[in-house]
Amino acid sequence: MLNGPPSQAGPGGPCVAQKVKLSTIAETLGLSTATVSLALRDSPLVADATRERVKEKAVELGYIYNRRAASLRTSRSGIVGVVVHDIMNPFYAEILRAIETELDRSRQTFILSNHYDSVDKQRNFIETLLQLGGDGVIMSPAIDTPVADIKLAEDNGMPAILIARQVPELDVPTFRGDDSYGIALATNHLISLGHRVIAMIGGTDQTSTGRDRYQGYVNALLKAGIEVDPGLRIPGPRTKQGGFEAAVNFLSMPQKPTAAVCWNDLVAIGLMNGVSRAGLVAGRDISVTGYDDLEEAAIATPALTTVWNGQAEVGRSAARALLDKLNGSSEANGLHLIKPEMRIRQSTAPLKKD
């Protein structure tokens, strides 16, 4: 009992039988927990030699910092929540990638969730995040998100940043593309190629994005003196499947559209696949534009003419705005529109006169 080997130094290095905590290190080294705590966080208050001793011992003992305990004390958790419609959608995935890169740099952990446009699922996520003491939340709000749900976060000290979509009457920082302008770019491009009967495929009026994009299409037509025919609109899911299924409908329209403005790249690719089952090739028999300029757009066949929508920029800006807010500044309130740009590839071509 008296001179046996110290039980800590078992064979095999950092073998954690009893949980190692700050106080374990403190006792082993004959220091106070205060000093150990400061040393581990590189406080200049601690002597260099002491800091080294502490850090070495921490590694040796396999110490694991308990962030729950720390954040209970400091009320900063290092957790940021991100909730979007569906991370499987490459549009959001590209945004997330940029957010991840930015948050990693600040050593924030991020918690991800889909809401699939369920307001309940979204509120649930916000509540969980609050319970975990989340520092902030970046969200692409679900359709019909009540202002109260965002306020819930903000009132409890968890700032919110909005991406891709907007909630009316809310002054939180919001980053998204200028949809109305962007879709007009695509529509104008088709008009300049001689097209006059242009369908609009995909999307709904339930989101601000959906309304803006339809409006942009309508405006561009009107400006060119082309009559707007609501029958040329096929609303629907914003997915490849949605575009694929719209193809039959598109091809059987009595107005015989020669071009399609699609809600996004996914719909456009699906539509191109669909019409090609009928032997038609985009860029030859019909013209198709996408929206977003996903990484995939350039390697689609034919390569997709589309509108760059700045996913990476949206993600990066949103993350930075949040980090800024966490550090006390808050200049970023309000709407930040990113200017879309045309990307002309092979899926559009001049109208052939019969």
Partner DNA sequence: CTGAAAGCGCTTACAG
The entry of DNA, its own copies, none that residue 156 binds, CB within 5 to 8 Å by partner kind: its own copies
The count of residues interacting with DNA (CB under 7 A) is: 31
Between helix 265-277 and helix 240-251 the angle, nearest 10°, is 50
Alpha helices (H) in 224-292, listed in sequence order: 240-251, 265-277
Least distance CB 171 / DNA (angstroms): 28
Residues that bind its own copies (CB under 8 A): 15-16, 62, 64-69, 71-72, 77, 79, 87-88, 90, 93-94, 96-97, 100, 109-112, 114, 127-128, 130-133, 155-156, 240-241, 244, 270, 272-273, 276-277, 295-296, 299-301
d(CA 128, CA 81): 10
Contact residues for 91 (Cβ-Cβ < 8 A; gap 6+)? 164, 264, 265, 266, 292, 294, 309, 311
Q: Note whether 278 binds DNA by CB under 7 A.
A: no
Which one of its own copies, DNA, none is in contact with 37 (Cβ closer than 5 to 8 A by kind)? DNA
Please state the closest distance from residue 272 (CB atom) to DNA, in A: 54
Question: For DNA, which is the closer residue by CB, 31 or 95?
Answer: 31
Provide the greatest CA pair distance for the chain.
Answer: 103
Q: In the bound complex, what is the minimum distance in angstroms from residue 9's beta carbon to DNA?
A: 20
CA gap 199, 202 in Å, rounded: 10
The smaller minimum CB distance to DNA, of residues 19 and 284, is found at 19
The partner in contact with residue 248, picked from its own copies, DNA, none with C-beta cut-offs of 5 to 8 angstroms by kind, is none
Residue 8 interface partner, choices DNA, its own copies, none, CB cut-off 5-8 Å depending on type: none
Smallest distance, its own copies to C-beta of residue 93, A:
4
Given 28, 46, 96, 170, the residue binding DNA (CB under 7 A):
46
In the list its own copies, DNA, none, the entry touching 38 (Cβ below 5 to 8 angstroms by class) is: DNA
Which residues are 234's β-sheet partners? 201
Q: Shortest distance, CB of residue 77 to DNA, whole angstroms? A: 12
Task: Tell which one of 15, 16, 34, 222 touches DNA (CB under 7 A).
Answer: 34
Interatomic CA distance for residues 277 and 246, integer angstroms? 12
If one asks whether residue 72 binds DNA (CB under 7 A), the answer comes out as yes
Element (H, E) at 102: helix 90-105
Please give the order of strands across the beta sheet that includes 160-163: 109-114, 79-84, 136-139, 160-163, 174-177, 335-338
User: Would you give the DSSP letter of residue 145?
Assistant: -
Cβ proximity of 125 and 83 under 8 Å = yes
Nearer to DNA, 70 or 132 (CB): 70
Type of residue numbered 338:
I
How far is residue 90 from each of residues 136, 206, 248, 341, measured CA to CA in Å?
Answer: 24, 21, 25, 19
By CB under 7 A, which span of 42-50, 92-100, 282-290, 305-313 interacts with DNA? 42-50
If you count them, how many residues does the chain have? Answer: 354
Q: Applying CB under 7 A, which residues contact DNA?
A: 19, 21-23, 30-35, 37-38, 40-41, 44-50, 63-66, 69-70, 72-75
